[in-house]
Structure 1
């Protein structure tokens, strides 16, 4: 049943026994993957640095013309570029646009790719010089030079470095614990790394890119985006245990996209690519939402929220790029900046996702600021392109709106992205204090108290008892579960002598958030505090036992010796018998004080022997009836109270009622103790008695046990006293 501990599991919880993944051959694979990735990065940089390009400061002029800035005041409007032996190639500002994937208009994209391919062909011809034809028909010779490493651009190394990091990060996760979901994460990471490499490649300085670089930009990068979205849908289907076959429909969009590219003419390819990505993103969020409704899963809930934030950001970027599309440099700038910001945001989310259960506050702030930065950048570009605002004005308006959104939504996002703490510090201390008090009263109830405390602190959807857990609390399943040691280890036992029994808590706050490292540390502190409470109680009990033994020894050596001397010096038989009985009482008292544990059955036997001796001296008989469901230990307080109550009641029956027969009935069924002492003496009318020290002491000791006592007439002759303790709980 959810929320209650199940029976101990005969099998260890997956992931409980392996504190660290065992790599073995995986380490060699990881090293090989790292070496190949680094070689690929340097090979790409060397190849791009060796490609030819036209240097200079190029810009878009009025009307979409291509201009070369010659100095601070003079520019050259270029209408065509020619190479020796080739016809002039008309050019315009589209030659400055490097991202066909984010070119909305198909005609403009085709013209853009055609100009770049023609320029790349001219740059690859021998000769080392190209001719720039201006609007007046003038011809200017421009030398062709290798790009060099300095011409790679300032963003090349950070982008390819991030791509390499994302690639290696996914490989490490996959090798650490191969799973289908890890494979899908690897696919998404490789797709985003490929997009980052394209952005780094197309951001190189100078005019001109290698042959084929832009021709494959839209087909390949859109394929990467669609494949990444399909992998997200597939991952959510696996995570929520939904029907698996719909994932094939998501992957079917990849060949469908290539079919659309092959058909080409007349199809709005950019809109088809965006529709596929947005549709798959909405599908992934819907799958996660429906799975959460069927079976709450904190991990799926957090990923659904991140996916929803990514989907909204992609929709905003799509609107910004579509709104800014058109001739001129503005549309290309918006497409370049918005798309680069989007891919950086997605890469950050991918790097963030495996660490959702780590530093919750830092990760929440990072994800929130990354999302707000993406929104501000998109709004800035949208305002500059659509409303023709200046750079400063568009940035100021976008920042103002972004700050307003951040201030308005920050608290809600921080509470719902990963989840808030289950309890405040005050409530946590209250629960811990109450559990510690109960544990001091009942030291052996540690497992039950700890299980209840864990439920109060974390409100898990499911609690299961398992046979083996780590010595410390540990996260499982990326934060979807938390393993907590149930009993503190015996400090005197050798390490590994016996496995600890523990709790596995699943889906914190009724499936609404993930467990985090802070939760694991809190659980460890709770276990440690309860262990200290047990140790403190044991130390106090040892001190009490030592003190009782000292007192018992002093009574035996001092008072006992004096009474024994008085007995031998007694001048009458009655005095000798009285001192002998006093010595017997002292012996019973000291034996009880020195005993480390009193079993109920042993104590009952001692009570019967003691009462029999007392009644024999008074020439009375004892009727004894004992009924217990199972034997249990007694505390010193319980033993002492019952011993004195029995003695006082029998003494009253003998010396005040002059009884000849005393019947004692002692019953212990479950937690209820019932004691009845009846006599056939002359006592009557107990309601009129004045309770002195004797009867007052009986009431006081019964109240100390948590019970009640009553006296009544025993039929035609004598008194019956009934003691009932409803919760006679011995230390569990």
Structure 2
């Protein structure tokens, strides 16, 4: 985990399509034309959908619902045609019109999707039957022949909007929503990867419309639909697979050789449909499914490669979603292949399997732009659709492989799917979305610890905030950005979190932290994370504001005390000095006045430069030691002239004075040496003498030495005494982390 300044062009700022530009709003004109284009696309989409509905509603149909059962021909289940109401439960044999065109009624006539017919011959027969039925219904008057020679004339009517069926409307609405989401993503951020996403969404919307048209009520499809459907859906499915592979070469980061990888993915889109249309491709369904599975394997390998290059959590989430999607599609393919041609396999279950798979994949596509947002309903929908896909696929496998009855296989499949859902729901959500919730106890514990440290060292505010955010979210990298951000925001589709730490409104330098790749690249940032970061920073700002208020009160109190000492005690000492009876008393009072002057000046100043403070300390010690006829050795080194707080200045001043006083009055020294050094954040202080002191480990620490220990501890350091050979005592002070107001910048 590293921390460094943000670099322009960093991938952290390659926002997802629905994220605003970091720290900047789009111009109103730029937003305005996007809204206009979106409104135009919405109108065009609605008009296109209305035209499709009018075309389907105008096609002739026969409002008869047939029921198939194992080993029996289809029979009339329900109908709104008065002439056929008496024939409910009877099995029709054929439909013919006045021109003599005829179509036989069997179980295949109820199939609506040639695309998912495994056998080429069955697919061709299905297309021929549906087109023949459309021609029969074009004649308007239709004769329905039943067994035992019964033939009833009925009238084929346009199905109308009410005849579109209950399933048509939600599928059409979902197709429109998919189309609009793709358009919004592209308009929000026009990029190559978003163009590819739009292609995926358009293909998926077209697939949903094909399914919607195939789900209409009654007998009969629009003329030409059955002929176009298998080839068109084949092209759409292959385009989706190629576009997903292409998108993985561009997002979350562009990959080497991406043009070659994308070209390999798009090759089946060109080759297979041309061969199938020309009749040169046998086993079309197997070739199509094999190509789609190959595209899926290539997409998984590509996104895994992207994650190895850069541990972006978006790539990790896409890889997990891809594994689930690939596994579900492979299971559906296996189930359809096993059920093909198996006697007793219900066509409605097979059709439901492909429909649920399509809904599952569509929900995942809709989920991708919102992975970093709170979209639990959409996540649950994707989960339920995936479990339903597994249930239907298992049902087909049980029927085909174990020859179970329809009810038995369906019941067993549903129980297995629900068991898998109940046991793995939370784990799958955590793995696919990475929504690991931070516990309240852990957050409070870390916040409390940092707040305590902040009270001791308020100057380290931004450093402590960065440490706290690292502990909470465990990012791989933290970038320092000198930019004022209005609020915490998730960028890069959840790959990064921007947290404003310090505002520039007060005249200082603004600072924001960019956290990249949460949980070491294993999960995405969410809006909940952004809200948590804002609350944490707000609490720390409150702590800093409280400490600043307390410090202002302390400064005011120090100023008052300094003023009182100067005006009252200083005036009295000055009077005593002029009334002194002896020169020795006059010198003593004069030195006391100088000490008082130094003390009041230190109390009145808010901060002290180290160079100025060391000069004052040297002047004070020189005067005192010269009067006592003691030599002074002085050595001060520092790599930068830092500002000392009042607490630091006062502690160092009292420590130096107390140690020198001990050397004079207890050690009776003739020489005192002081060495001080500040390198980085390491402060060392050594005061040695040649006095009579011995065995410091046996000393009883009174107020003087106890005060030294207390003040050194206040600085965050430690102190020890030892003998100074050949005679005397050395006191050594070490402060390993001497933080000053300049340290945190």
Same fold per superposition (TM over 0.5)? yes
Residue of structure 2 in register with 1:9 after alignment: 7
Deviates more, 1:542-551 or 1:152-161: 542-551
Residue of structure 2 in register with 1:216 after alignment: 228
Instruction: Specify whether residues 220 and 699 from structure 1 end up closer, same or farther in structure 2 by C-alpha distance, changes over 3 A only.
Output: closer
**2:550 paired with 1:550:** no
Residue of structure 2 in register with 1:611 after alignment: 621
Residue of structure 2 in register with 1:378 after alignment: 393
Q: How far apart, CA to CA, are the structure 1 residues paired with 2:723 and 2:560?
A: 41
Instruction: Specify whether residues 676 and 215 from structure 1 end up closer, same or farther in structure 2 by C-alpha distance, changes over 3 A only.
Output: same
Deviation digits for residues 586-607 of structure 1 (CA, Å, limit 9, x no counterpart):
2222222222112222222222
Assess if the C-alpha contact under 8 Å between 1:163 and 1:194 holds in 2.
yes
Post-superposition shift, 1:317? 1.8
Corresponding residue to 1:628 among 619, 628, 638 = 638
Assess if the C-alpha contact under 8 Å between 1:64 and 1:93 holds in 2.
no
Task: Name the SS of the counterpart of 1:80 in structure 2.
Answer: strand
Q: How far apart, CA to CA, are the structure 2 residues paired with 1:592 and 1:359?
A: 55
Instruction: Specify whether residues 607 and 47 from structure 1 end up closer, same or farther in structure 2 by C-alpha distance, changes over 3 A only.
Output: same
Deviation digits for residues 417-438 of structure 1 (CA, Å, limit 9, x no counterpart):
1225385443333333333333
Residue of structure 2 in register with 1:118 after alignment: 132
Residue of structure 2 in register with 1:40 after alignment: 48
Post-superposition shift, 1:394? 4.2
Corresponding residue to 2:519 among 501, 509, 513 = 509
Corresponding residue to 2:282 among 241, 253, 267 = 267
Task: Name the SS of the counterpart of 1:207 in structure 2.
Answer: coil
Residue of structure 2 in register with 1:28 after alignment: 36
Q: How far apart, CA to CA, are the structure 2 residues paired with 1:460 and 1:689?
A: 51
Post-superposition shift, 1:250? 1.6
Deviation digits for residues 613-647 of structure 1 (CA, Å, limit 9, x no counterpart):
33454466655444433322223343233333443
Residue of structure 2 in register with 1:173 after alignment: 185
Instruction: Specify whether residues 578 and 217 from structure 1 end up closer, same or farther in structure 2 by C-alpha distance, changes over 3 A only.
Output: same
Corresponding residue to 1:55 among 63, 66, 73 = 63
* 1:300-699 paired onto structure 2 within 5 Å: 300-326=315-341, 330-359=345-374, 364-380=379-395, 383=398, 393-421=408-436, 424-468=439-483, 470-485=485-500, 487-489=501-503, 492-493=506-507, 500-618=510-628, 622=632, 624-655=634-665, 664-670=674-680, 671-678=682-689, 683=692, 685=694, 693-694=703-704, 697-698=707-708
Residue of structure 1 in register with 2:734 after alignment: 725
Task: Name the SS of the counterpart of 1:6 in structure 2.
Answer: strand
Assess if the C-alpha contact under 8 Å between 1:321 and 1:334 holds in 2.
no
Assess if the C-alpha contact under 8 Å between 1:634 and 1:730 holds in 2.
no
Q: How far apart, CA to CA, are the structure 2 residues paired with 1:178 and 1:689?
A: 78
Deviation digits for residues 381-411 of structure 1 (CA, Å, limit 9, x no counterpart):
5556776766654443222111221233234
Instruction: Specify whether residues 584 and 519 from structure 1 end up closer, same or farther in structure 2 by C-alpha distance, changes over 3 A only.
Output: same
Q: How far apart, CA to CA, are the structure 1 residues paired with 2:393 and 2:226?
A: 24
Post-superposition shift, 1:225? 0.8
Q: How far apart, CA to CA, are the structure 2 residues paired with 1:41 and 1:605?
A: 86
Residue of structure 1 in register with 2:172 after alignment: 160
Q: How far apart, CA to CA, are the structure 2 residues paired with 1:427 and 1:623?
A: 52
Assess if the C-alpha contact under 8 Å between 1:678 and 1:714 holds in 2.
no
Q: How far apart, CA to CA, are the structure 2 residues paired with 1:417 and 1:456?
A: 23
Assess if the C-alpha contact under 8 Å between 1:632 and 1:730 holds in 2.
no
Corresponding residue to 1:92 among 91, 106, 123 = 106
**Structure 1: gaps (5+ residues):** none
Residue of structure 2 in register with 1:78 after alignment: 92
Residue of structure 2 in register with 1:101 after alignment: 115
Task: Name the SS of the counterpart of 2:91 in structure 1.
Answer: strand
Assess if the C-alpha contact under 8 Å between 1:480 and 1:507 holds in 2.
yes
Assess if the C-alpha contact under 8 Å between 2:63 and 2:219 holds in 1.
yes
Residue of structure 1 in register with 2:81 after alignment: none
Assess if the C-alpha contact under 8 Å between 1:83 and 1:122 holds in 2.
yes
Post-superposition shift, 1:187? 1.3
Q: How far apart, CA to CA, are the structure 1 residues paired with 2:693 and 2:448?
A: 49
Deviates more, 1:22-31 or 1:342-351: 22-31
Residue of structure 1 in register with 2:245 after alignment: 233
Q: How far apart, CA to CA, are the structure 2 residues paired with 1:391 and 1:638?
A: 84
Q: How many residues in Structure 1 have an aligned counterpart in Structure 2?
A: 719
Assess if the C-alpha contact under 8 Å between 2:435 and 2:524 holds in 1.
no
Post-superposition shift, 1:88? 3.6
Q: How far apart, CA to CA, are the structure 2 residues paired with 1:35 and 1:699?
A: 79
Assess if the C-alpha contact under 8 Å between 2:483 and 2:511 holds in 1.
yes
Task: Name the SS of the counterpart of 2:22 in structure 1.
Answer: coil
Deviation digits for residues 218-276 of structure 1 (CA, Å, limit 9, x no counterpart):
11111111111111111122236142202212211112222332243771222222222
Residue of structure 1 in register with 2:216 after alignment: 204
Task: Name the SS of the counterpart of 2:442 in structure 1.
Answer: helix
Corresponding residue to 1:151 among 147, 158, 163 = 163
Post-superposition shift, 1:573? 4.7
**Structure 2: gaps (5+ residues):** 15-20, 78-83
Per the normalisation by structure 2, the TM-score is 0.88
Q: How far apart, CA to CA, are the structure 2 residues paired with 1:258 and 1:637?
A: 81
Q: How far apart, CA to CA, are the structure 1 residues paired with 2:375 and 2:74?
A: 50
**2:205 paired with 1:184:** no
Task: Name the SS of the counterpart of 1:23 in structure 2.
Answer: helix
Deviates more, 1:32-41 or 1:369-378: 369-378
Task: Name the SS of the counterpart of 1:133 in structure 2.
Answer: strand
Q: How far apart, CA to CA, are the structure 2 residues paired with 1:663 and 1:277?
A: 83
Deviates more, 1:163-172 or 1:53-62: 53-62
Deviates more, 1:41-50 or 1:137-146: 137-146
Deviation digits for residues 332-353 of structure 1 (CA, Å, limit 9, x no counterpart):
2123211111111111111111
Residue of structure 1 in register with 2:18 after alignment: none
Structural RMSD (CA): 3.1
Q: How far apart, CA to CA, are the structure 2 residues paired with 1:205 and 1:653?
A: 106
Q: How far apart, CA to CA, are the structure 2 residues paired with 1:347 and 1:304?
A: 17
Instruction: Specify whether residues 557 and 247 from structure 1 end up closer, same or farther in structure 2 by C-alpha distance, changes over 3 A only.
Output: same
Instruction: Specify whether residues 547 and 87 from structure 1 end up closer, same or farther in structure 2 by C-alpha distance, changes over 3 A only.
Output: closer
Task: Name the SS of the counterpart of 1:188 in structure 2.
Answer: helix
Q: How far apart, CA to CA, are the structure 1 residues paired with 2:265 and 2:61?
A: 41
Assess if the C-alpha contact under 8 Å between 1:83 and 1:130 holds in 2.
yes
Instruction: Specify whether residues 614 and 319 from structure 1 end up closer, same or farther in structure 2 by C-alpha distance, changes over 3 A only.
Output: closer
